[in-house]
Chains A and B, each alone.
Chain A
């Protein structure tokens, strides 16, 4: 009974401190206008991805032979394409594709990167050497081309893209986590935990991992941006999933009608740009938030 009560209390405390932390982060992000805008835009994109059926004015697949190449108007805010489909609705559904691929690929890369980084940083020695070499090797191989080759051979279905992007972009995360684990391992409290008989797994997951979460999440947001631009690039080159609505594919189609319908390429690209910009700015700001040393530097000039 008392045990249950105390665990309840703990959960309540934890959720309280979590909410406090979130409040603090939002406050930090609201300090300048551009970051605040990025935050709002990201929330909007997430809503578009979650509930496209309630937001989009038309069925994005609906072909209307009487409404082809309509310029932006009140009826079709972003105009229509070569088949008379509503661009705004396609842009909204395109957000879903981008977000699914971005979030899943980034999660996969966080999983791989954190795990390898923790192992390399905590154990050091040969494990560290091996993992560091893989990281260095990966950083010297052009990522986009590696992904392009694999997708060209195995096909660009959504699941293929998520897996291939995810297992290609993890090295930056592994590098940062490795460095953090390495420095935390040398701290006195880890020594104390060891003296108390804590196992390696306990130290890694209870003491080191929680300290890396903030930094890893901020890097994850940056990687979501890169996963989204990689997917768009692949779709633009005609290697994406043909059944999906994707901003990259819309841009690729727009290229053909460039002198006839500027809106076909302008709007999907604008959303792609603003999404990546928002994620980049948010990721950078969060990274700064978790690395206070980066905020104030001394400059003698």
Chain B
């Protein structure tokens, strides 16, 4: 199969997924108790005339199937409704909060995947021995720690007892309202980032250790590895240049697949540390029952995850011909 054909196939698979996500949202809005409009724009503090206008704009006076297509076209135009807490289009609020979440996620994925790969490779190298057992135990502990508990413990230890790091927010008060990003401000943001990224990264470290280890163990059982030994190549050369290279596309694909669960972890982490990202927005909206925002974030996240997986798979297909077949 050529690259182009693989791309077309992969894109064709993503389209129904996006439709399914939009459909789930549509169904939720329509079987939820109360007026569907309250889940799209919120009905409080709105005049009856404006409500009528919205009703016809969203096609709520039309038959169901027509509404369905109106809904799909609205979502595809990135019209995710209006928040009734902020009286602003949901998409604007999401985009405003996106950079903080992306910063937290990218830094966390970066360090935890690097450390996870190192530990995972070490575990596979010592398969069945003490270092392997230790790595497995570490991985089990890491995937079992509740994000929010770890966050609270870190705040207690580093914030309350040792008073080393800031525990809330993304910026110190003296930088609030600053227009430009100065170097001092960037340092301040990184300083605030330490505890949240330690929390989020630790929880996902175990996933990387486990998958790198099991992928490598399978790879190291193949005969070409034995042959490389027979040729007289060194162990670490074989490990990194042969085995690790062979499994790296799977590791990259895994990073993409983890995105969805990682976003869930980010939500809880942001809630603990008052990090002003999308996760914190979900928490605030859930408490205020701001349905348009909650539904909007779900659609936004779900579609982003599908698209990221698509991009990751495409990059993989370019880098690794095996993926295409």
Contacts and interface: CB of A to CB of B under 8 A. Distances in A.
- The bracket for how many chain B residues form the interface is 35 or more
A301 B126 CA distance: 8
Nearest to B137: A34
Contacts of B160: 258-259, 262
B104 to A, nearest CB: 16
B39 A266 contact: no
Which size class do A's interface residues fall under?
A: 35 or more
A297 B141 contact: no
A277 B146 CA distance: 10
Contacts of B32: 153-154
Contact of A300 (B220, B295, B302): B220
B170 interface: no
Given A137-B16, A142-B261, A277 B144 contact: yes
A114 interface: no
A148 interface: yes
B294 interface: yes
Interface string B125-151: 101100000000100110111111100
Given A255-B272, A300-B226, A144 B264 contact: yes
B21 interface: yes
A251 B282 contact: no
A176 B296 CA distance: 33
A299 B127 contact: yes
Interface in A252-270: 254-255, 258-259, 262, 265-266, 269-270
Given A152-B286, A153-B32, A233-B264, A269 B153 contact: yes
B239 interface: yes
B62 interface: no
B225 interface: yes
B127 A269 contact: no
Given A140-B305, A150-B28, A254-B152, A301 B282 contact: no
Which 7 A-B pairs rank lowest in CB-CB distance, beginning with the nearest? Answer: A269-B149, A142-B260, A144-B264, A277-B144, A276-B144, A300-B226, A300-B225
